[in-house]
Amino acid sequence: MTRSEENYIKAIFHLGGNTPTLVATNAIAEQMETKPSSVTDMAKKLADKGFLNYQPYQGVSLTDFGIKTALSIIRKHRLWEVFLVRKLDFSWDEVHEVAEQLEHIKSEKLIDKLDELLDFPKYDPHGDPIPTKDGIFLERDKQLLSELPINTKGVCVGVKDTSSAFLKFLDKYNIALGKTIEVLEREDFDESLHIKMEGKELQISHQIASNLYVKKND
């Protein structure tokens, strides 16, 4: 497989998941920042190779083989992110672009050794689940911070937006995975939140709260 083909398969998986739901070519084009006609050409090529089902004017869906391939690419990407943070002291806002390059390494033995070296991590530095070699992964029970009721606490377990700008913003205010956040008040006007974290109170926008995943405390 070419690097471009792998990127398309991964993008389709992120848009449609491991379900038979059709993903529109326009959505793929937006994700890949390319023209719909280019997506159509690639879809036909990947369908010929057995990675997806292509229905003209309707969209595409990954085959079982395509899903397995997508999960393998995602596994490599997220393991490399863990490695970069744990072993090379990269910050979580730096690892995505580097992992985008490393995920295309073909050696399965190398990835298995990497997994073993890292003690088989279940989640990457952004809180996303890491598939096993067999394609099994554990989804966390989570919800967006923006949906957490007032006077309720939750532990930050992931981010929806993994852009460098957003992660740097979180670092600036010391918001990180594992931190307990309590919702004190929600503004009716703009749905911004008044929160408490480690004894300190902070006002955050609805946009920020809508990009943070938390696990509600029992």
Report how far apart, in Å, the C-alpha atoms of 147 and of each of 72, 150, 152, 179, 208 are.
32, 9, 10, 17, 12
- Equal fold, 3-62 vs 143-216: no
Among residues 173, 169, 172, 197, which one has the least CA distance to residue 183?
A: 197
Tokens linked to 169: 């913003």
Q: Is 3-62 a domain of CATH 1.20.120.430? A: no
Residues 95-104: tens digit of each pLDDT: 999 999 999 9
Residues 111-169: tens digit of each pLDDT: 999 999 999 999 999 999 999 999 998 888 899 999 999 999 999 999 999 999 999 99
Residues 65-119: tens digit of each pLDDT: 999 999 999 999 999 999 999 999 999 999 999 999 999 999 999 999 999 999 9
Domain parsing of the chain, residue ranges: 3-62, 143-216
**Token match 């990947």: residue?**
46
Mean local confidence (pLDDT), 39-68 = 95
CATH superfamily of this structure's domain 143-216:
Ferrous iron transport protein A (FeoA) (2.30.30.90)
